[in-house]
Structure 1
Amino acid sequence: MRVLAAIMAALAFVAVAPAAEASPGRGLRIATYNIHAGAGEDNVFDLDRTASAIGSLHADVIGLEEVDVHWGERSQFVDEAGQLARKLGMYVFFAPIYDLPPDHRQFGVAVLSRYPILSAENHEITRLSTQTPDPVPAPAPGFAEVTVNVRGAFVHVYATHLDYRPDPSVRQAQVADMLGILAADGGPKVLVGDFNAEPSAPELAALWTPLRDAAPNAGPTYPAAEPVSRIDLITVSPDVAVVGAQAVATVASDHRPVVADLLVRR
């Protein structure tokens, strides 16, 4: 009887294992939000309002742009990344674009996550500084990468903020830099951020070979009150399935956030 029981258990394992492998994946809700340094469309600084808007997305991982950390009076010199993480009960990685002496006034992007952040890196990409006269394109930090374990699926999430100026050449260089960084990583990838360009812009064209637009029908995101441009994007690698996505109406910033429901495989 013991031998028969062992054989039956082995057969049961063989029968169940393929079904587990064929499971549709782990659900992951991703968002991107340019928080305008904690100021709403009304230009009033209110980090509680920002936190409430982020919380209402019910996202597992959120990429944030225009984040101040002890930057200046406009945001009352607070650590916005740290305070938002505490208010929302999330892990955080902050990737400064600028870190100015003598008091480490910082401005950049951040990633909030309900899942522990296993690794994080602040990559350099081409930038045209807003802090120096007569700037020239040069490598600078502020391209965030984190790896999170989504119930057994290890996902790379990247948050970016591309150049806002009319000349597309800097954004084109930034896209090339980002794709070089993504190419070094394996597994599911999600790139989010404020691209300051519509998906159809020529300078973003190179994105759409290794990645795809996760929210083509989500609606415009900027300006928040009456948006006309879709410049806040969520993009995913081919091994990530998209269940749905939308831009969320709120004036807690001058941009609307975008949220997408994804499935990622182990």
Structure 2
Amino acid sequence: MKLIIQVVFFCCSLAAFAKQSESEASFSRKAKTLKVMTYNIHHCNPPSAGDKIDVAAIAKVINNEKPDLVALQEVDVNTERSGKGLDQAKELARLTGMNYFFSKAIDHQGGDYGVAVLSRFSILDSVRFILPIDPVVKGETRTIAAITVEISKGKKIVFASTHLDLKEQNRLTQAELIVKHFEKSNLPMILGGDFNALPDSKVIQYLDKSFTRSCQECAFTIPVDVPDRTIDFVMYKSDGSFESLSTRVIDEKYASDHLPVVTELKVK
């Protein structure tokens, strides 16, 4: 009987080890490329649906693409318009099976409004910081949600989501802070967001000095019915850690007033 128990234990241990090894190998293969999405979700309010809040529609878009990392903008938490008790970041994480971090920008209708990130990887660290507003120009408070994740053994990266101001002077000031802040980190970094700026704008040209956009000739992202401009981007620090393999704009016209951008990056 003792021998049988030992044999069974050995077989179970061997099976568990094999399963773990297979999982690690699969994870390692997957980690050689990253699928990244940025999506301004318009507080989960489809423009054609009146005041309806449709979190499931946004989750469906994300689940169809199965990204590893998602940068979200215009996210509501416990607001009157979206529903008290509804944390959109948390609910999207639940519906997609991902981890999340929310960064508040402003108070809104009794709740919070800001940006968020979703991650298939465990979140090791998270940080929220406020982007500056020129006191003369004025504007709405903006923020960044940044997380540190380990995409494979010993390989950590920073992933962040942001939504820059509508006024160019504020956007330039905010871009300067983003570069200054993340230059301090030695980790590779990916940034996704609604930059409210065109590819040839001063803001994007400034960011291009420190970041590499996933596409140079990027498809239009707004408005969804007849897109005519690009203001949503995925970019990464120009330190040789990533290479852009492809970038697509998803033709999803119902869920939001922006089209989502999906990028596949090679991890070097």
Q: TM-score range by the shorter chain?
A: 0.7 to 0.9
Does the aligned pair in 1 maintain the 2:232–2:261 contact within 8 Å? Answer: yes
Structure 2 counterpart of 1:145, one-letter code: A
Q: Using the TM superposition, give the Cα deviation of residue 219 of structure 1 relative to its aligned residue in structure 2, in angstroms.
A: 0.6
Aligned residue type for 1:111: V
Query: CA deviation digits over 1:187-229, x for unaligned, max 9?
Result: 2111110001112101332111111111223410001121111
C-alpha separation in 1, matches of 2:67 and 2:215 = 15
SS at the partner of 1:176? Answer: helix
Q: Does 1:197 align with 2:197?
A: yes
**1:254 matched to 2:254:** no
Contact 1:188–1:264 (Cα < 8 Å) also in 2: no
Q: Does 1:155 align with 2:157?
A: yes
- Which one of 228, 245, 248 corresponds to residue 243 of structure 1? 245
Instruction: Say if 2:52 is the partner of 1:51.
Output: no
Matched-pair contact (CA < 8 Å) for 1:126–1:137: no
- The CA deviation string for residues 222-261 of structure 1, in whole angstroms up to 9 with x for no partner, is 0112111100001112221111111101021000000100
TM-score normalised by the chain length of structure 1: 0.81
Q: What secondary structure, in the 3-state scheme, does the structure 2 residue paired with 1:179 have?
A: helix
Question: Which SS does the other structure have where 1:106 is aligned?
Answer: strand
Residue 48 of structure 2 aligns to a residue in which SS? coil
Distance 1:135 1:200 in 2: 22
CA distance in structure 2 between the partners assigned to 1:123 and 1:164 by the alignment: 19
What amino acid maps onto 2:170 in structure 1? V
Unaligned runs of 5+ in 1: 1-22
Structure 1: which amino acid aligns with 2:260?
Answer: P
C-alpha distance in structure 1 between counterparts of 2:262 and 2:56, whole Å: 20
CA RMSD of superposed structures (Å): 2.3
Deviations 1:42-89 (A, max 9, x none): 14421111111121121000000000000222x123110111101111
Q: How many Å apart are 1:135 and its aligned residue?
A: 7.8
State the SS of the aligned residue for 1:256: coil
User: Does 2:133 match 1:127?
Assistant: yes
In structure 2, give the amino acid aligned to 1:76.
G
Q: Work out whether residues 154 and 188 of structure 1, in 8 Å CA contact, stay in contact via their aligned partners in 2.
A: yes
Partner of 1:11: none
- What SS does the corresponding residue of 2:172 show, helix, strand or coil? helix
The residue identity in structure 2 corresponding to 1:146 is I
> Does 2:100 align with 1:92?
yes
Contact 1:162/1:171 (<8 A) preserved: yes
- Following superposition, the deviation at residue 128 of structure 1 comes to 6.8
Using the TM superposition, give the Cα deviation of residue 137 of structure 1 relative to its aligned residue in structure 2, in angstroms. 5.9
1:34 aligns with 40
Contact kept, 8 Å, 2:35 with 2:69, in 1: the verdict is: yes
Distance 2:139 2:54 in 1: 33
- Rounded to whole Å, the distance in 1 between the matches of 2:202 and 2:134 is 19
In structure 2, stretches of 5+ residues that fail to align are: 1-28
Gap change, CA 1:128 and 1:57, over 3 Å in 2: farther
- What SS does structure 1 have at the residue aligned with 2:226? coil
- Identity, in percent, stands at 29
The answer to whether residue 215 in structure 2 is matched with residue 209 in structure 1 is no
Amino acid at match of 1:147: T
**2:132 aligned counterpart, secondary structure:** strand
* Separation in 1, partners of 2:175, 2:75: 21
Cα deviation code 1:140-196 (max 9, x no counterpart): 56211111111132111111000124xx10111010011111111112111110001
CA contact (8 A) 1:41 1:225 kept: no
Q: Whole-Å Cα distance in 2 between the matches of residues 45 and 128 of structure 1?
A: 33
Alpha carbons of structure 1 residues 174 and 234: separation in structure 2 relative to 1, 3 Å:
same
Aligned residues: 233
Instruction: Work out the CA distance in 1 between the residues paired with 2:115 and 2:139.
Output: 19
Partners of 1:40 and 1:196 in 2: how far apart?
20
- Preserved CA contact (<8 Å) 2:139 2:165: no
